[in-house]
């Protein structure tokens, strides 16, 4: 079982190279998303940014983890990714260093997250770009597959419930 303490201890690197841990987001509701700039689901950036703007003042953040594992749809450098996200989608939420979410070299944060089952009861590998893990303040994690849009009523309800708790 994944715990918030286990997640918070994981080392992460920001897009600009700053070393930190997931614990930087302690006390917040966090939507972790593996992102890609050249994917058919890339327009989800707009909804992710809308969530960030709507809820950041209440203790919520989106955290993007670029990943190039799915048909090489995130080929750019960290600088190129940052430029694309800010200019094209107006992204203000934290973006991390490009990582692997599956297989050999899977980032330790994702080693924990993939243990979480989705609504259908399936755990395991990330299926595609824009898979979402909603990490609640109490450590509960809800998993949403890539085609579930960030503004899906189930995601909004879970964010609202955690922020109101």
Q: pLDDT tens digits, residue range 64-90?
A: 999 999 999 999 999 999 999 999 999
**Rounded average pLDDT over 109-138:** 95
Catalytic residue selected from 12, 15, 31, 39: 39
Enumerate the domain spans of the chain: 4-164
Position 165 scores a pLDDT of: 86
The structure tokens 């960290």 sit at: 78
Going edge to edge, which strands form the sheet with 60-66?
Answer: 60-66, 29-35, 132-135, 141-144
Dist. CA 36–CA 142, nearest whole Å? 21
CATH topology for 4-164? Glutaredoxin (3.40.30)
Known catalytic residue at 85: no
């Amino acid at each position: 079982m994944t715990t918030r303490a286990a997640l918070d201890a994981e080392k992460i690197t920001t897009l600009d190279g700053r070393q930190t841990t997931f614990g930087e987001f302690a006390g917040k509701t966090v939507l972790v998303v593996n992102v890609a700039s050249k994917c058919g689901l890339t327009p989800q950036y707009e909804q992710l940014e809308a969530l960030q703007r709507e809820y950041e003042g209440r203790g919520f953040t989106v955290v993007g983890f670029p990943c190039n594992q799915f048909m090489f749809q995130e080929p750019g450098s960290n600088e190129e990714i940052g430029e694309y996200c800010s200019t094209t989608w107006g992204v203000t939420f934290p973006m991390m260093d490009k990582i692997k979410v599956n297989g050999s070299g899977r980032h330790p944060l994702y080693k924990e997250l993939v243990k979480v089952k989705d609504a259908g009861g399936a755990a395991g590998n990330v299926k595609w770009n824009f898979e979402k893990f909603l990490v609640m303040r109490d450590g509960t994690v809800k998993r949403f597959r890539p085609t579930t849009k960030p503004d899906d009523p189930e995601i909004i309800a879970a964010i609202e419930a955690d922020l109101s708790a």
